[in-house]
Amino acid sequence: LIWVTKYRHQTFSTKELADEMKDILQMVAKNNEIVIEKMEVMPDHVHVLISFPPSKAPTSAIKALKGRSAFIFLKRHPEIR
């Protein structure tokens, strides 16, 4: 999966912000039975290679990763919004 930030803003401009997003994605994946095989957080987009059980719909896995991680990240950093 590859997704970009809104308007491709450089949201993850520092190593600390990128590492925090990686930690959030790992936590969300663990809570939703998703295995992150590989992950890279770039300044304006995220690359993730995932696997999940066949009983889980691909759209629900994507929604869980993108939606929940964005919610947690923006709650911690409201100035980025």
Strand partners, 2: 47
The confidence score (pLDDT) of residue 47 equals 97
Q: Which residue has the tokens 């709650």?
A: 75
Nearest to 36 by CA among 44, 45, 27: 27
What is the pTM assigned to this prediction?
0.92
* Structural domain that includes position 75: 2-80
Give the confidence band of 79 by pLDDT, cuts at 50, 70, 90: very high
The b/e string for 64-73 (b: 16+ C-beta within 10 A; e otherwise) is bbbebbbebb
Q: Residue 11: which CATH number?
A: 3.30.70.1290
Domain count within the chain: 1
| Ramachandran angles phi, psi of 21, nearest 5° | -65, -40
Provide the CA 46 distance to its chain's centre, in angstroms.
7
Residue 25 has pLDDT above 90, yes or no: yes
